[in-house]
Structures are given as C-alpha cells and as structure tokens.
Copies of this chain bind each other. A is one copy, B any other.
C-alpha cells in the first residue's frame, strides 16, 4: 500500500497526498478530506524507511544501558519510552551487561541502524572508547546517570547525596559506618558515591573503614558475612545501590543481626520495589523516570535545532532521601 495507490484512487498526484499528510494547510480542505478518506479505506500507512531515506531522519533514538535486570534502569527506560513516544520517536534499546566491548558494539549497531540520537549509560565517560567514537560522528547524544564536564549528562549529584546520607547517620548516633559498593572501576557512579562517603566521613571527623567492594552482586552476602561478624562491626551500611542494600539486609539476617535494630542499611537508587519490602528500604532516591524523560527531551530539543547537545546542557536533578524502616538510630554502645 503506497502513496501511489492512494493518489491513483483519489485522482490526485502523489505530491498532493504527501502534502495532505505532512502539511495539511498547504492543501484545500476538500482535497485533504478526500485524501484522508481514501487513505483510510486503503489502510494506507506511510512507509517509514522510504521517508527516512528521503528525509535522512529516522525518528528513532538508540538507548544503551547496562542491564534491565536492575529496576533502576528499567524504570529509566520506561521514562524514556514514554517521552519518546510523546515526541514521536521510537526507541531501540541495547544492553551491554556492563561490558566495555559491548558498549562499543552497541553504539556501532545503533549508528548503523540510522538512529537520530543516542541516550547512553556508560561505564565511565572519561575513558569510554564508544563515547569517543560516537562523538566523532557528530550524532547527538546524552548520557544518563553518568557525570562528566565534557559531556551532556542527566543525573543527580551522587557525591553530595551520599555525603548527606552519612551526615544523617552521624546525626542518629552512628559512628561505625561502612560503605558497600560494586566494583569501583566498573562505573563512575560508584566512584562518585564513594567520594561522597569519604567526604561525609571526613566532615564528621570519622575514620572511614575500607570500602566493602563486591565484584558480583551475587557474592554480596558472602562478602559481608565476615565484616558483620567482627567485634567492631559497622552499625550502619551505605550501599551504592538498592540491589546491594537488599542483599546486605539478607546478609545481616543470615548473620543473626536485625535490621534496623542491630544494623542500619541505606540504599541508593530509589527503586519502586524498595517501598514494599519489609523492612521498607531507606534509600537515596533518584528520579529514574525523570532522568529518562529529561534525556529524551533534551535530545529531541537539540535535534530539532539541528545541533548536537553540548556539555553545558547537562541537568542535575534533585535526589530525595526516602525514609524507610531499614535505618534507625544507633543504640548506645559502650565500645564507641
């Protein structure tokens, strides 16, 4: 079903049909209605690839993310999806599994797929080869969750957020506060959050114990077992993401510690599920949906202007401390 068929049946030229669809005012009302009617009768749907080929715009956005198994990114993608549809764009998501070579492959794939722009969550903007190559192509893009002065980014101030959280814990009487993180090298977010932790501890005049680095989330429970049994075990844990926090709570439980009575746990991300857990997860909530939405909006805006997005378009969205039940005041301990 092509524009030709519609033109023929309506007794007008293809140009008129095209205009009736794309510039309704450039055509007489009567012809427009005629064309619309015929198109409907014929179930005509404009051919996207032909249009793309002709206009050099696909109205498709590529999305590169680590995984959908972390609800954080699923929530963000949902935000992206809604905003994209609202803006008349389709999205093509690709997951990388936190692997650098997959990042490159994804960007390559998407570029070959003629996307008009890209939203990506990379491991580390400063060192990402994929990002460097992407940049050189002149395709508009925006980073989500990442933060770097040379790139347009939409995220929250993870450093300040964690420093805040530490301050809150201190206010509640905690002194032995440890941080649990995934592999630091694997993401700039983890690094920022850890910086915030150290800053928070320093500000409170506390000595920061070594970072509890968990290579695979699955091994979190094991990694924590030892730490939580020590005589000078922490009374509070700040986790670099909610999934780690959930596993930390489990580790505490397995170790015979009650949360929050014996151990306070704070997460980071604000996944929706956290509110329904028992105990409800105390966490630093990011507006995951909005991060996605704003990324799309920035991108669409830039593309409309025919430009690429600059670093100074970056958005730092507010985070929220979501009070839950996994965090409480420290009990008085003589060992302090």
Contacts and interface: CB of A to CB of B under 8 A. Distances in A.
A202 to B, nearest CB: 32
A11 interface: no
Interface residues on A, range: 35 or more
Nearest to A248: B276
B48 A112 contact: yes
Given A68-B78, A71-B71, A253-B278, A93 B94 contact: no
A94 to B, nearest CB: 7
Contacts of A272: 69
A83 B278 CA distance: 36
Contact of A69 (B58, B75, B246): B75
A333 to B, nearest CB: 24
Interface string A260-301: 000000000000110011101000000000000000000000
Contacts of A277: 246, 250, 277
Copy number in this complex? 2
A278 B260 CA distance: 13
Contacts of A52: 49
A114 B48 contact: yes
Nearest to A253: B278
Given A246-B276, A276-B247, A112 B74 contact: no
A81 interface: yes
A280 B250 CA distance: 9
A47 B50 CA distance: 12
Nearest to A84: B94
B93 A85 contact: no
Interface string A72-99: 0011011001100100001111110000
Interface in A39-74: 45-50, 52-53, 58, 60, 67-69, 71, 74
A317 interface: no
Nearest to A105: B85
A78 B69 contact: yes
Contacts of A74: 68-69, 71, 74
A226 interface: no
Contact of A75 (B68, B93, B114, B249): B68
Nearest to A242: B273
Nearest to A289: B69
16 contacts: A48-B113, A49-B52, A49-B53, A67-B78, A68-B81, A69-B272, A71-B74, A74-B74, A81-B95, A85-B94, A85-B109, A91-B92, A93-B93, A250-B280, A253-B278, A277-B277
Given A47-B53, A90-B109, A91-B92, 12 more contacts: A46-B112, A47-B114, A48-B112, A49-B52, A49-B53, A50-B53, A68-B75, A68-B81, A71-B71, A71-B273, A249-B278, A250-B280
